[in-house]
Amino acid sequence: MGGVEEHIFNLSQCLLARGHKVIVITHSYADRKGIRYMTNGLKVYYIPIKVFYNQVVLPTMICNIPLLRYILLREQIDIVHGHSAFSTLAHETMNVAQLLGLRSVFTDHSLFGFADLSAVVTNKFLEISLANCNHCICVSHTGKENTVLRAKVHQDKVSVIPNAVDTAYFTPNPCRRPNDDETINIVVVSRLVYRKGVDLLAGILPKLKHLPHVHFIIGGDGPKRALLEEIRERNNMQDRVVMLGALEHAKVRDVLVQGHIFLNTSLTEAYCMAIVEAAACGLQVVSTKVGGIPEVLPTSLIILTEPTVDSVYRGLREAIRREMEKKQITSSRYANGSIDGLAPTPSKTSYNGLCAFERNQIVANLYNWNNVTERTEKVYRTALREAPASLESMMKNCLKSGVWPFVLVISLCHLILRFLDWLVPRKHIDLCCADNPFLSPDCERHRRRSEQAALTTAVRRKREKFS
């Protein structure tokens, strides 16, 4: 599960806990189709749409209208919240929602350029899609500036709400680190693609081969994995560079706690979730100074470098020096008997860095999902105060983008919806419960009775076994 999916899941759980009804609409994954229920009754629609490239559905704008209309009306939705500029399904659903008189909110998780052809095309499509959006959310101030410029959204309609991390789960565990006084583990967890700066990582590995106590743990997969394996073989570092391959998000924490330093070499990032999770696990973070990364963590938790091999190498050497200094101080405390109550030598305990649990506490104070949810609720209330968009206003907003043919697309979508209102009238659609039945008092009492009955049964079986 990627960063965007993790964001959607955690935000949905917090909204459910605050009494809201939340459903998630996505395309099917292999045999996962239909409706699934997740934690706390989160309802997920895996609609039967075929993907054609990199888990992305073909943007048709009209083929999915009947199914999306039925779901939105049946679930009595008020706001459609789309995520990611690459999600064609999100943009199509937001368009249908606006034509149905609902409100739409969009969260942008990425940064885009302005020069290459792919960026120009993507930015124009995003401008068209967000022309009728009630409000936008960006995960960093840098991301907000980028979205305002490339999608031509008014700055007053864009809010900055960062991601968060579950610091109760991403906790340090120093016992999982090497227990000797010299070994330093550097952890890298990311997709092995060009945008994540894998070429920088490939240039750094040979520079550290003369430090036998430095080891690398690399998690993730992608087209650049072959390059790292080639560098590892060429420099005879097979015993010091471990390639874990693709990781499930539930296993990321088990990898992070094995390290002392977390290395991020991204070439562009709106908000890097990986460095926040690493800091919460107590690792010293070394990262390239690109995009919104400088505003994510305080300087006490991160060493920022330029996106060059030499600069990242210098940052790593500084982080290694700090870790070695901390290891020497820790061992000296045991050597001079301070563990038995004797005062340690002041000159050997002048380390001013933070311990792993102090790092976790700082991240917990900076980022938590309750705060993110409260700020997102304010955006929802702002969107609900706006009047529903009319067909005329939607067409005028599309004309401002300069892509006149898209007005015909909006008109066609409107005609299809009017035809569906005649073919399948709204009064014939069976409505779902407006509240989350899993969080109702009756459901909670039933759950407690079930747990008590299960506990009683288990106790009775144990008594019968040992009697």
- CATH code where residue 209 lies: 3.40.50.2000
Q: Residue 2: in which H helix or E strand, if any? A: none
Residues 252 and 359 in one domain: yes
Phi/psi of residue 214, nearest 5 degrees: -100, 125
Buried b (16+ CB within 10 A) or exposed e, 145-179: bbbbebbbbeeeebbbbbbbbbbeebbbeeeebee
Q: Please, what is the average pLDDT of the chain?
A: 85
Q: Which residues pair with 160 in a beta bridge?
A: 138
pLDDT at 400 exceeding the cut of 80? yes
Residues 265 and 119 in one domain: no
Residues 307 and 179 in one domain: yes
pLDDT at 441: 60
Residues 100 and 184 in one domain: no
Residues 186 and 156 in one domain: no
Calculate mean pLDDT across residues 64-80: 93
pLDDT at 333 exceeding the cut of 70? no
Residue 17 lies in a domain: yes
Check if the beta carbon of residue 223 is closer than 8 Å to that of residue 192. Answer: yes
Residues 300 and 397 in one domain: no
pLDDT tens string 271-305:
888 999 999 999 999 999 998 899 999 998 999 99
pLDDT tens string 140-158:
899 899 899 988 899 999 9
Residue 455 lies in a domain: no
Residues 61 and 138 in one domain: yes
Percentage of the chain modeled with pLDDT above 70: 87
Phi/psi of residue 465, nearest 5 degrees: -70, -40
Residue 237 lies in a domain: yes
Residues 47 and 150 in one domain: yes
Residues 85 and 231 in one domain: no
Residues 246 and 304 in one domain: yes
User: DSSP labels for 215-268?
Assistant: EEEEE--STTHHHHHHHHHHTT-TTTEEEEES--GGGHHHHHTT-SEEEE--S-
Q: Is-above-0.85 flag for pTM? A: no
Residues 108 and 17 in one domain: yes
pLDDT tens string 32-67:
888 999 888 899 999 988 887 767 787 888 889 999
Residue type, 263: L
Residues 288 and 198 in one domain: yes
State the Cα–Cα distance between residues 171 and 101, nearest whole angstrom. Answer: 44
The domain total for the chain is 2
Residues 6+ apart with CB under 8 A from 299: none
Residue 449 lies in a domain: no
Calculate mean pLDDT across residues 12-23: 91
Check if the beta carbon of residue 392 is closer than 8 Å to that of residue 98. Answer: no
Q: For residue 264, what are the domain limits? A: 174-334+353-367
pLDDT at 329 exceeding the cut of 60? yes
Residue 16 lies in a domain: yes
Residue 454 lies in a domain: no
Under DSSP, is residue 316 helix (H, G, I), strand (E, B) or coil? helix
